[in-house]
A and B are shown apart, each in its own frame.
Chain A
Amino acid sequence: MLSGKEIWAAFGRVIRREMRLMFHQPIYFYSTLIVMMVCTIFFLTLLHRGQPERMPVAVVDMDCSTISRRIVHELNATQSVVVAYRCADFAEARRMMQRGDVYAILVIPENLYNDMLSFKRPTLTFYINATYTMGATVAYKQLMMFGNLASGAFQREVLRKKGLPDSLIMQRIQPIVIDGHMLSNPSSNYSVYLSSVLLPGILGLIVLVITVFSIGMELKWKTSRNLLAEARGSMVIAMVGKMVPHIMVYTTMGISLNILLFRIMGFPMNGSLVWLCVGMFLYILAVQSIGVTIVGLLPVLRDALSISALYGMLSFSLSGFTFPVEGMPGPIQVFSWCFPLRHYFRLYVSEALMGNPTVDSMVFIGCQLLFILPQYLVHKRLKNAFIYQNYPLK
């Protein structure tokens, strides 16, 4: 048995050894700091507008009257769409849409103006290009609203001719009004949706891969016996000591990221940022534990890296921040619990968006804590691999 002093000395040696490795290999610097910074800058600048605006649509104007020109004019005045092309026939517009140049087509029928005046109800036709779902949804919403406003405007004119006062006309045209309240994200800013989970997800991906890499490299370079010797043969000291420098780097990165998002960028935060940062810390520990488990089960650097890449990329889908997990098949819903990003996402919703009491967030923090355990199950197997180095190196 080691005495307390020896344990601390061993820890110190392993930590110093790991830090030396980290500083001497540029790959650590590139694949953590540089990659994370590039991704942060990329996503925050890409989504800085928050809402997709001025989606190009094509108009097929078969009427060519003052009213159809006014429709084009009014459409251009809206925020969400812009009439990018005015086509002479539908075939041309269809090609535009197939080419992905426009997200929707508006067909204005012949004799629109005359038919309106003679109460024949001419029909406007929209074609929506759902190949690109985001642009299509924005364009569709705007066109639908536009269609209703057009009818409303016509009725207003009729009622005005009848001599009704404007105050009465409004409630005539719109007997029901829905006041929408977008809770805690009033402008439905997509950056808030995506960046606050996507970026921690990328951080998690980096943590996972680097953890696997740093342990796998010990096996590949056959330095694992040296590591064990420094740790006085204790697997716990070796692994924890090895992880401590990494944890410090990633936690600093994670917390700076949260401060950047919620303090500097001003993303909504209805709960406590401190708890979200605690969640971030535990999320990093959880992901590291999974990395250790993977490399423990498959002590071959190449296989462990492939598996963690597969797992890491899946975590974006299965965390449910784009397509809700509730809409996925049952087995996948259960499987989604195995992803720390899922729990981090739920903690984020509970803390930042809903502003729930801290007690509610504890569930998600507890889930992250559970992830720390499985790495201890593979310690024995990993120790054998460390000693005998009997796995393929390539």
Chain B
Amino acid sequence: MAQGENTPGDEVLYLAAGVADLMAEGMRGLFRRLPGLVEVRQELRARGELALRRTGTAPEAHMEVLARQVAMRKLDG
């Protein structure tokens, strides 16, 4: 096909295909850099464990402190 016989419709088609190809290549690159699902899961799990351990040391609820005082007093008779 000679260059000069292109219609405006073909021009739009080639441009669109070019954009699509560029995007596809970008996505392929992105996925190459991304870790697999298993790694993502492991990472999230580790983070979750750390977060729970961090919050596990939070101070007691105020009502809990009072309730323990009351329970101790009852034990003392």
A and B associate in one complex: no
Question: Hey, which bits of chain A sit against chain B, CB under 8 A?
Answer: none
